[in-house]
């Protein structure tokens, strides 16, 4: 696919999906105007945002941006940097701040445009080179030259590219529900990403930011619906209020939407070639996560030499909050394993995903699991019991 054709297709789909979304919003505005009126705005920060058990609030002022972050643990320990996804903020890592700080100096950053970090309105401020360089400057500002990184969701857009750009800085990389951006783009090109039209609609100014504000920020009830009042639920009404307070103004959405715009605009560049990263990488994904397919996982493995996959049976998208104890144990297990695993020292060299998981992984979790009905049926088009993934 030529670059010229890619750009034409890109702008054509923006027009098509934007007209579709705008038409639907116009109908809703006429039939249900109350959905677009602000209600019950959370104007006072919920107490949970300032609980000491989650850490201390700090700021790092860089040349062009100011970053807010929450830290916990001994600063003499190795740094574990946590990068949240969309639409979240540092609070999504509250369980990791509380539990992992016994072993690491844990820093949960508010990504640029989110929370209490600076929120520039210009789209150019959210380009990949700018985001990656500022993350490097942030590490310098807090006095570190090396760290291990954990990303979730859209936070992987910065994390993956940072790992490629600065492999000597990243000791270990853990991606939770966060496919490699280029694998995500490839799936979008093939129209195999849920809510594909939303990403194209987000290329418009103003309207996407306005859209997410509707119905009293109902987006957060929908996001955490499976975590509210359920066995897997570690999200409370106060937690929902914390998200609504943080994203209560329309300008609070400019940064998050700009991150989506940046991701999609990678499509305009056509095929990108990136050198494989040598950083040990752990990919954690739930087999009930609606946003990621088996193809996306397989393609993500192609960008690293040392790839380990862990599938969480029944896990959804927000794993750090859904099953925090289990996720924390996986993180600690991966970070603390010895460099060489004697069990697989003599494994044959093979470029396949499964051999890489067996021969290159540092986390030893002996299991054979069914990837799940939803993914295997959607991706493979065959009976799920006939397809299993073995991971170590």
Give the model confidence (pLDDT) of 286-335 as tens digits: 999 988 888 899 999 999 999 999 999 999 999 999 999 999 999 999 99
Structurally, the chain folds into a number of domains equal to 1
Domain that holds residue 53: 3-336
Determine, yes or no, domain membership for 48: yes
| Cβ 300 vs Cβ 180: under 8 Å | yes
Determine, yes or no, domain membership for 182: yes
Burial class of residue 314, CB neighbours in 10 A (0-12, 13-18, 19+): exposed
Q: What is the pLDDT of residues 8-21, one digit of tens each?
A: 888 899 999 999 99
Kindly tell me the sign of the dihedral angle through the C-alpha atoms of 242, 38, 155, 135. negative
Determine the Cα–Cα distance for residues 205 and 332; give it in Å rounded to an integer.
Answer: 42
Give the pLDDT of residue 11.
Answer: 87
The pLDDT of residue 388 is above 80: no
Determine, yes or no, domain membership for 388: no
Determine the Cα–Cα distance for residues 247 and 251; give it in Å rounded to an integer.
Answer: 8
Determine, yes or no, domain membership for 94: yes
- Give the CA distances from residue 212 to residues 9, 202, 358, in Å, rounded to whole numbers and listed in that order: 26, 11, 42
Q: How far is CA 271 from the centre of its chain?
A: 22
Mean pLDDT on 175-193: 91
Q: What is the pLDDT of residues 111-168, one digit of tens each?
A: 999 999 999 999 999 999 999 999 999 999 999 999 999 999 999 999 999 999 999 9
Give the pLDDT of residue 311.
Answer: 95
Determine the Cα–Cα distance for residues 189 and 196; give it in Å rounded to an integer.
Answer: 10
Determine the Cα–Cα distance for residues 97 and 82; give it in Å rounded to an integer.
Answer: 9
**Residue of 214, 210, 190, 280 lying closest to 251 (CA atoms):** 210
Mean pLDDT on 256-276: 85
Determine the Cα–Cα distance for residues 21 and 243; give it in Å rounded to an integer.
Answer: 25
Please tell me which residue, 130 or 392, carries the higher pLDDT value: 130
Determine, yes or no, domain membership for 368: no
Q: What is the pLDDT of residues 42-71, one digit of tens each?
A: 778 999 999 999 999 999 999 989 999 999
Burial class of residue 256, CB neighbours in 10 A (0-12, 13-18, 19+): buried
Determine, yes or no, domain membership for 387: no
Q: Which residues pair with 149 in a beta bridge?
A: 81, 173
Determine, yes or no, domain membership for 7: yes
The tokens of 220 are what? 């957060």
Q: What is the pLDDT of residues 222-262, one digit of tens each?
A: 999 888 866 666 899 999 999 999 999 999 999 999 999 99
The pLDDT of residue 387 is above 70: no
Please tell me which residue, 161 or 347, carries the higher pLDDT value: 161
Q: What is the CATH number of the domain that holds 255?
A: 3.40.50.1820
Q: Is the peptide bond before 87 cis (omega within 30 degrees of 0)?
A: yes
The tokens of 251 are what? 């300008």
Determine, yes or no, domain membership for 299: yes
Q: Using the structure block, give the residue that is written with the tokens 């694998």.
A: 183
- What does the DSSP 8-state code read for residue 117? S
User: Residue 31's pLDDT band (boundaries 50, 70, 90)?
Assistant: confident
């Amino acid at each position: 696919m030529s670059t010229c054709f890619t750009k034409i297709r890109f702008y054509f789909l923006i027009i098509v999906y934007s007209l579709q979304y705008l038409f639907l919003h116009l109908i809703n505005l006429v039939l249900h105007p109350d959905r677009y009126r602000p209600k019950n705005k959370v104007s006072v920060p919920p107490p949970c945002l300032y609980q000491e058990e989650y850490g201390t609030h700090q700021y790092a002022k860089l040349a062009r941006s100011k970053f807010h972050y929450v830290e916990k643990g001994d600063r003499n320990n190795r740094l574990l940097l946590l990068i949240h996804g969309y639409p979240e903020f540092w609070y999504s890592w509250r369980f990791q701040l509380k539990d992992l700080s016994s072993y690491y100096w844990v820093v949960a950053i508010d990504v640029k445009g989110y929370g209490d970090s600076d929120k520039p309105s210009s789209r150019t401020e959210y380009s990949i080179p700018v985001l990656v360089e500022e993350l490097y400057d942030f590490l310098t500002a807090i006095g570190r030259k090396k760290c291990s990184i954990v990303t979730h969701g859209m936070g992987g857009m910065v994390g993956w590219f940072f790992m490629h750009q600065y492999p000597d800085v990243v000791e270990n990389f853990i991606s939770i529900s966060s496919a490699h951006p280029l694998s995500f783009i490839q799936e979008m090109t093939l129209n195999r990403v849920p809510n594909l039209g939303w990403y194209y609609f987000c290329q418009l100014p103003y309207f996407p930011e306005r859209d997410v504000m509707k119905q009293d920020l109902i987006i957060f009830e929908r996001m955490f619906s499976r975590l509210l009042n359920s066995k897997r639920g570690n999200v409370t009404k106060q937690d929902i209020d914390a998200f609504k307070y943080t994203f209560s103004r329309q300008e609070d959405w400019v940064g998050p939407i700009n991150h989506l715009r940046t991701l999609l605009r990678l499509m305009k560049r056509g095929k990108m070639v990136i050198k494989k990263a040598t950083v040990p990488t752990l990919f954690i994904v739930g087999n009930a996560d609606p946003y990621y397919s088996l193809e996306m996982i397989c393609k993500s493995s192609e960008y690293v030499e040392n790839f380990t996959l862990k599938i969480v049976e029944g896990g959804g998208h927000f794993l750090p909050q859904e099953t925090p104890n289990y996720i924390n144990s996986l993180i600690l297990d991966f970070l603390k394993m010895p460099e060489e695993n004697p069990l697989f020292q003599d494994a044959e060299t093979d470029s396949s995903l499964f051999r890489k998981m067996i021969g290159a992984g540092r986390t030893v979790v002996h299991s054979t699991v069914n990837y799940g009905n939803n993914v295997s049926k959607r991706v493979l088009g065959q009976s799920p019991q006939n397809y299993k993934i073995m991971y170590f």
